[in-house]
Chain A
Amino acid sequence: MREKMFCRLSLAVCLLLLLFIVRAPHGERLESENRAYTAFSLASPDRYFTDRLPLREHLLRLSRNIALALGKNEFADAFLGRNGYIFSEESVSTETLTKNLDAVQVFADALGIPVYTAVVGAKTDVLFGSLPRLYADERESLWQALRESELQTIDLLPTLRRRGGEGKYIYYRGDHHLTTLGSYYVYREIAEALGITPYDAKDFSVGVVKADFSGSDARKMLCATQDKIALFRYAEDGEFLVENRDSGEGMRGLYNTEKLHSSDPYGVFPIADCGYARITLPNAERQRLLLVCDSYGDALAPLLARHYDLDILDPRYYGGSVKALAAENDYAAVLVYFGMDTIAGKEILYKLRF
C-alpha cells in the first residue's frame, strides 16, 4: 500500500513539474542571469526545461551552498576571493592570443596610421591581495607573449597592479570590468601613448549613480556585491551625439542613465553590446580615432571622447570589413583595446585581416 502511494506520488510530482514547466507563465528574460529564456528545440531540449524549473533560483543556491560548504570555493566558473571580490576563470591560451595579435599586426601593416594595442588584465592578473590564499596565477606567459609581440603596445599592467596594490577601487567586486576609476587610470596611460594631455581627475565631476550593482561574476555566484557605478562627468558630456550604427538609433549625451534601473545597469554606457557606434561632438572639428574593443571599451570611450570623435567597433558583433572602414575614414590613429580574457580566450580578431 505504502509502495503504491509512493509510486503514484512520484509520478504525480513529475507530471506536475512538467505541467509547471510547460504552462506556468513567466517573463521574457531570466533577470538574474540577464538573458532570455531558452526556446524549445528537439535537438537540445534540456535548457528549455531547466530554465523553467520551479524555484530555480533556490535550486541553484542549493547547489552553490553545497559546493561552498564542501570547501570548493567556486561555482559556475566563479570563485570567491578576499575583500568581497568574486573572480571568474576564463579559458585562455597563448596560442589564441598570438593568433589575435598576428591579425592586429596584419591590420597595422596595411594601414598608414599608428595602431596601438592595449590589453586590460583580468582581476586575477591584478588584484593579488584579494585572491584566495594559495591561488597561483599561471597567466604570466600571456603577458610575456604580449610584450614580445612587435606591435605598438601600451603596457597597462604595471599601472593597474600598482593602483590595485594601493587598494584603489579599480575593478568591480562582482563584475569583470574595470570601474570608471580603473578606466580613468587606463585613459591616462593611453593618452600619454597617443601624445595627448590627459585631463586631471579634478577636471571631472565624479558621482556615484548606482550603489547596488551586481555584475556578471556576482550573478554567476548568485549573490549581490553592492558595487558602485560612478561616472566621470564633465560639463559638455551631454552635448555629444552617440549613434548606434547597427540600428541607426542615436542619443544625446554620453550616458544612458535610464539603464541604471534595468537588469543590465552597465548599459549606462550607451555603446554596450553594439557592433559599430560613433561618438561625435557636433559643430566641432576634431581628430578621429578608431577604437576596436570589447566591452572594456564602454567605460573608456566617454573619457577618450573628450579628445577625439570616436568610431567604436566591437568585432564580436561587427560584420563588415574593418580594413575598408579604416580606409574610407580619416582616422588619426587606431586603438585596439581588449580584456586579456577576450583576446586570449576567443579568436575574434581574424576579422581585422579583411
Chain B
Amino acid sequence: MTLYTAFFLLGFLPISALVYYAVPHRTRYIALCVIDLAFYALAAGKLFWMLPLLSLVTYALSFAKPRVGFLTMLLLLPLLRLCGVSAVGVSFFILRAAAYLHDGHREKNFVRLCAFLWLFPTVTAGPLTRYGQARDSFDKPVNYPLIERGILLSLAGLLKKLFFADALYAAFVQFHAGGTTLSAVAALVCYALYIYFDFAGYSDIAIGIAAIFGFAPPKNFDHPYLSRSVGEFFRRWHISLGIWLRDYVYIPLGGSRRGKGRMLLALGAVWLTSALWHGSTLSYLLWGGWFFLLIAAEKLLLPKGVYLGHVSTLVPVLLGWVFFFSETPAAAFAFLGRLFCLGGTLLYSRADLYNCMRHLPFVLLAAFCATPILHNALCTLYRHKKVLLYPLAAAAFALVLSCLAVGAHQPFLYASF
C-alpha cells in the first residue's frame, strides 16, 4: 500500500483519521502506533517485523553514547543490504533513527518512540523528520488549520504524482526508446520533470497526511529547477536528506571551516554517502561523483555571492540525471553519445516529431507547474481569499479521483531506495 492508492485514500486514511481523533488526545500516540504498524504491515508484507525490531535496537542504542549509537545504526544499512533484507522504507528509517541517536534523545516511553519512528506518512520515503520537531506534536488537541493545510497539500501532491509524474514517465519511456538526439533531449527533460513531480508530489502527500494527524514535517522541495547554482539546487531538492547529510556527515567532518582540503574531504564523504544510500551501483557512484565535482568546483572557483545562473545550473543538473536513470555506466555514456549527436546518431526521426507533437503541451504545462508562479498564486489565495480555494480543492479532488479511476500508476521511485 502506498499513499496515492484508492485503497489508502478512500479506505485506510479516513478510517484511521476517525479512529485517531476519537481517542482522547493524551493517548493518541498509542492509536497512532497501531495505525502506523497496520500501514507498514500492508506496505511491507512479510517483512513488517523489521520495523519493531529496528525500533527495539534504536531504543537500546539510545542508552549508549550518541556517537556509538549513531554509527551502529548507520552500519545496519549496508549490513541489511548485504544480507539481502530490503523492506520498504528501511533506509529512511535508519537515517531517522540515526539522527535520533546522534542528537542524544532518550525517549523512555517506547510506544511514543515508535509512534515517531513509524509515523506512517513518512515511514516509507520520508521526509526525514527529527524527534526534536515531532516531539511537540504529540498530545496536542485537534489543530484544524493544520489539518486543513494538510488536506490541501495532500491534494496538490496527489495531482503532482498522479496527474503529472505518471504521464511524464510514460513520455520519458517513449523518448528513451528512440535512437536520435531529439529523442534523447526530450527524454532528459521528461525525466527531470518526472523525478521532480514524482518525489515532490510524494513528499507533499506525506507532509499533508502527517499534518492531518497533527504533525508538521519540514518541506522537502522548494522549486529546485530555478536554482542559480548546483549547490543551491541540492539545498532545494530533497531538503530533508540534504540537511541530514549536512548535519551528520559534512559538519562533523569539519565542513568548510577547516581549510579547503578538509572541505573537499567532507564534501566527498557527503556525496559518497548519498550515492551509496541510493544504491551500491557504479551508476549511482558516477552520479554522486559528478555532483561532487560540480559543487567542489563551485566552492573553489566561484567567489562568494557569484552564481552560475539558471541555465548554467540546469544543464549540468540534467546531465547528472543520466547517471541516475541509467542502469549501467555503459548505458549512461551511450545515452550521452546520443544526446550530443555522436557516433552517427541521427538528429531526429519522424517518430520523434510525432511524439513531440503529442507531449509538448503537457510537458510545457508541467514545466510551468514546476515554477513557483502557480504555487505562489495559490498561497496568496490561501492567505487572503480562502473561500475561493475550496471549489479549487473540490475540482482537484475530482481530478485525483479520475486519475485513480484510470489506475495502473507508476510506482513511486524513491520507495525503492
Contacts and interface: CB of A to CB of B under 8 A. Distances in A.
B18 A15 contact: yes
A325 interface: no
A73 B359 CA distance: 9
Contacts of A73: 358
A49 B403 CA distance: 13
A39 interface: no
A53 B358 contact: no
Given A3-B147, A136-B350, A136-B354, A46 B6 contact: yes
Contacts of A6: 148, 151, 390
A11 B148 contact: no
B357 A50 contact: no
Interface string A208-251: 00000000000000000000000000000000000000000000
Interface residues of B, number: 44
Nearest to B365: A70
Interface string A1-16: 0111011001101110
B110 interface: no
A7 B13 contact: no
B369 interface: no
Contact of B403 (A14, A63, A74, A76): A63
B189 interface: no
Contacts, number: 104
Contacts of B145: 3
Given A4-B144, A10-B151, A134 B353 contact: yes
Interface in A56-73: 56, 59-60, 62-63, 66-67, 70-73
Contacts of B405: 50, 53, 56, 59-60, 63
Given A6-B151, A45-B7, A76-B406, A11 B359 contact: no
Q: Which applies to chain B's interface (DSSP): helix, strand, loop or mixed?
A: helix
Contacts of A63: 402-403, 405-406
A10 B151 CA distance: 8
Interface residues of A, number: 40
Nearest to B360: A71
For the residues of A in contact with B, the DSSP-based class is helix
Contacts of B132: none
Interface in B346-405: 349-351, 353-354, 357-362, 365, 386-387, 390, 397-399, 401-405
A53 B6 CA distance: 9
Nearest to A63: B402
Given A49-B11, A53-B401, A7 B148 contact: yes
A322 interface: no
B24 interface: no
A62 B351 CA distance: 28
Interface in B143-157: 144-145, 147-148, 151
8 contacts: A2-B386, A10-B151, A46-B407, A50-B404, A63-B402, A71-B361, A134-B350, A134-B357
